[in-house]
Amino acid sequence: MPLITLCGPPLAGKTTLANEIVAYAASQYPNLDIVIINFESLKVNRATAFQNSMTEKRVNEQLRTAVERHLTLKRVVILDALNMIKGFRYELFTRAKEVGTAHCVVHVDTSREVAWSRNLARASEEQYTEKAFNDLFPRVEIPNPAQRWDNPMFVQREGEPSIAHTILDTIMGTKASLVSFSTTPIRLESQTFVRDLDRLTQEVISQIMHFQNSYPSSVGDSIKISISEALIQQTRKSLVTTNASSQALDELTGGLETPSHFECVHTATAA
C-alpha cells in the first residue's frame, strides 16, 4: 500500500492533515490498514531531537527504520515528520519502490508566525526550542514535482480546505513505480572486498615504488609485478558481483583472462 510522506516546517499542520487522512479512510475505506509514524509514535522529544547534527541523524534513522518496518503491500503508511531534506525523501522513495508500492509527497505550508504561535501553545516538554525552530524553518527544501521522488506531489496551504480526500483517493489509484537498477540495493558478495582491493593496490604500488627507487634511470622499462592469482581472482569476482546488475559489465569482463602478473611501464621522469 502507498507511502504518504508529509513534509514542511515545524508546526505547519502536518499532524492535523495526517489525522484527517485517517478519518477519511475510516469512512471511505473501512477495511484499509493505515498507520501514522511521527514523533509521538516514536516517543521523540522535540526539545532535544534537533540539538545538533548527531541527534537529528538519530531521529531520521528512527523514522526510516519505522517506515521499513511498517511499509507493506497491504498497509498505508503516513510519515508525519519534517522530512525537509530532499536526500531523505529520496531514500523513502527508494524504500517504497523496493516494496513495490506507490508513494506521494505532501508539502504542508504555513507562515513562520502561525507556526511559532502553535509552538508556544504546546506543553513546554513538546515545544521546539526557539533556536531549533529558527534553525529548522528555513532549512526546508520544498519538494519539486519534476523530481521523481517528489512526484506525485500535493500542497496543503494554511487556511485552505483540507485535501485529505484528494490525497488518499489519488494515491489509492496510483500504480507503484517499477524497481530500477538505480534504486535496487546492491549487495557485496564479500564483506572483505574493500580490504582485499586495498591490499592488492597497495602491493602493486609498493612494487612499482621499489623498482623506481632501485632503478631511477630506467625510464620506459617494463616492470613485472607478481601478485597472487587467487587474490586477483577474488578481487575481480567481488567487483563483478558488486556490479552484477549491469549486463554490460558482465559482457565486458566475462571473457577476459585474469593474468597472474601485471606488466606496467615505468614512466617516471628523472630529476
Rounded Cα distance between 153 and 143, Å, is: 8
pLDDT greater than 90 at residue 110: yes
Three-state DSSP string of the chain: CCEEEEECCCCCCHHHHHHHHHHHHHHHCCCCEEEEEEHHHHCCCHHHHCCCHHHHHHHHHHHHHHHHHHCECCEEEEEECCCCCHHHHHHHHHHHHHHCCCEEEEEEECCHHHHHHHHHHCCHHHCCCHHHHHHHHHHCCCCCCCCHHHCCEEEEECCCCCCHHHHHHHHHCCCCCCCCHHHCCCCCCCCCHHHHHHHHHHHHHHHHHHHHHHCCCCCCCEEEEECCHHHHHHHHHHHHHHCCCCHHHHHHHHCCCCCCEEEEECCCCCC
Mean pLDDT in residue range 50-69? 92
- Domains in the chain with CATH codes: 3-183 (3.40.50.300), 193-265 (no CATH)
Q: Which of 83-92, 118-127, 210-219, 242-251 has the lowest mean pLDDT?
A: 242-251
Q: Are 133 and 10 in contact (CB under 8 A)?
A: yes
The answer to whether the CB of 70 falls within 8 A of the CB of 77 is yes
**Residue 175 scores a pLDDT above 70:** no
Q: Check pLDDT > 70 for residue 63.
A: yes
Mean pLDDT of 203-228: 70
pLDDT band at 126 (very low <50, low <70, confident <90, very high): confident
What confidence tier does 47 reach under pLDDT thresholds 50, 70, 90? confident
Residue 181 has pLDDT above 50, yes or no: no
pTM of this prediction?
0.65
Question: pLDDT at position 97, please?
Answer: 92
pLDDT exceeds cutoff 50 at 55: yes
pLDDT in tens, 136-161: 999 999 999 999 999 999 999 999 99
